[in-house]
Structure 1
Amino acid sequence: MKTRDLVLVSLFAAIIVALGLMPPITLGFVPVPITLQSMGVMLAGVVLGARRGALAPLLVILLVVIGLPVLSGGRGGLAVFAGPTVGYLIGWVPGAYVAGLIAERFARPSLSAVTQTIGFFAAAALGGIVVVNLCGILWLGLGAGLGLSKAFLGSLAFVPGDLLKSAVVALAGRSVMVGYPLLPRRA
């Protein structure tokens, strides 16, 4: 890994942490708050690609492990991994990886602007919504004992906001690709 890659991974980890400064919104019927950090995870995957994109949330998780309060609401430390939201947190890594993989394949520079934007939206939605929610629902349903059907139904409340986040990420990804492309080139 080159120095440039380390700097980009650190930068996007910092973006994820900065998005956690916005206070979380608790819905009450599910123990998972609405945060902007998932948008940072989507953005890392879409802008950096699969490998580097997955390393950014992994770095944030390592910061949580050592006790830094980098999660939304000022949470951090090993106690986070005993809570009901740990599935979503762990899902950040494969979510960013999948978003990056899809962006690398379907948002190439040779495509039109509209096609690239749609590719970025699909990448953010599939990686940042489907994969992250799948991990979160599985943990919430099985690990926290809520039951899969309740966990799934509770997570549906997050989908409209996540779709809005995906749209913002798609526009940001397209803007970065035009101004300073960071996605790895595929052979």
Structure 2
Amino acid sequence: MTNQRTKKLTLAAMMTAILIVLGFFPGIPLGFIPVPIIIQNLGILLAIELLGTKYSFLSIGLFLVLALFGLPVLSGGRGGFAVFLGPTGGYLLGWLLVPFVLGTVLHILKQQQRLSWWLEFIIVVVAGVLFIDLIGSIWLSVQSHMPIGTALISNLAFLPGDIIKAGLAVFIARRLRKLPSLQTIF
């Protein structure tokens, strides 16, 4: 059991490193909303897909602690406490909370062996992408003094890219879970 835990912790640390690397890609500003399009949320979804609730929470939590302490690990080299209070703070909070929602639903369906590719994809979009966007929109509304409806509608700009990232996360995770050397871990 200790060996399995060590492997999971190692994978969690590796996912944290992948999240940091994905932060090297700068965000794409939209202009009408103070939140850019980024690729790091692909890593968030992938971490949950591969690590489950507990270890993805540890990985994402460690990543966010590094950002909180000022390390430039967020997209475009951002970091520090001010980022968590800015327009993107709700999305960061959503990243921390989504392992509990998405990880739990995926775990239940994997236990029942009812997880087809399409069902997994839909769950990642609904319990992952839309959950993060909802938390982000609520915070954006409060922080920017924007009506909640406007914040929710402005998030529609992220959906096409987020759906592609969700599909990539499902595809990559399913491929990695099939590797014989990783099957004992996942």
Please, what TM-score do these two structures have when normalized by structure 1? 0.88
- Find the residue that maps to 2:26 and give its secondary structure: coil
Cα distance change on mapping 1:12 and 1:173 into 2, 3 Å:
same
Q: Percent identity?
A: 36
RMSD over aligned CA atoms reads 1.8
Q: Which residue of 2 aligns with 1:10?
A: 13
1:81 to 2:84 alignment:
yes
Aligned residue type for 1:106? L
* Alignment map for 1:148-187 (pairs within 5 Å): 148-179=148-179, 180-181=182-183, 182-183=185-186
Cα distance change on mapping 1:53 and 1:126 into 2, 3 Å:
farther
Runs of 4+ in structure 1 off by over 6 angstroms are: none
Q: Structure 1 residue 153: deviation in Å? A: 0.8
- Find the residue that maps to 2:32 and give its secondary structure: coil
Q: Which residue of 1 aligns with 2:125?
A: 125
Q: Structure 1 residue 110: deviation in Å? A: 4.7
Cα distance change on mapping 1:13 and 1:119 into 2, 3 Å:
farther
Aligned residue type for 2:167? A
Cα separation, 2, equivalents of 1:70 and 1:64 = 6
- Find the residue that maps to 2:35 and give its secondary structure: coil
Cα separation, 2, equivalents of 1:116 and 1:108 = 13
Q: Structure 1 residue 89: deviation in Å? A: 0.7
Q: Structure 1 residue 152: deviation in Å? A: 0.5
Aligned residue type for 1:48? L
Q: Which residue of 1 aligns with 2:136?
A: 136
Q: Which residue of 2 aligns with 1:31?
A: 34
**Aligned residue pairs: how many?**
180
Please, what TM-score do these two structures have when normalized by structure 2? 0.89
Q: Structure 1 residue 62: deviation in Å? A: 0.3
Structure 2 unaligned blocks of 5 or more: none
Structure 1 unaligned blocks of 5 or more: none
Cα separation, 2, equivalents of 1:66 and 1:6 = 22
Cα separation, 1, equivalents of 2:52 and 2:146 = 34
1:92 to 2:76 alignment:
no
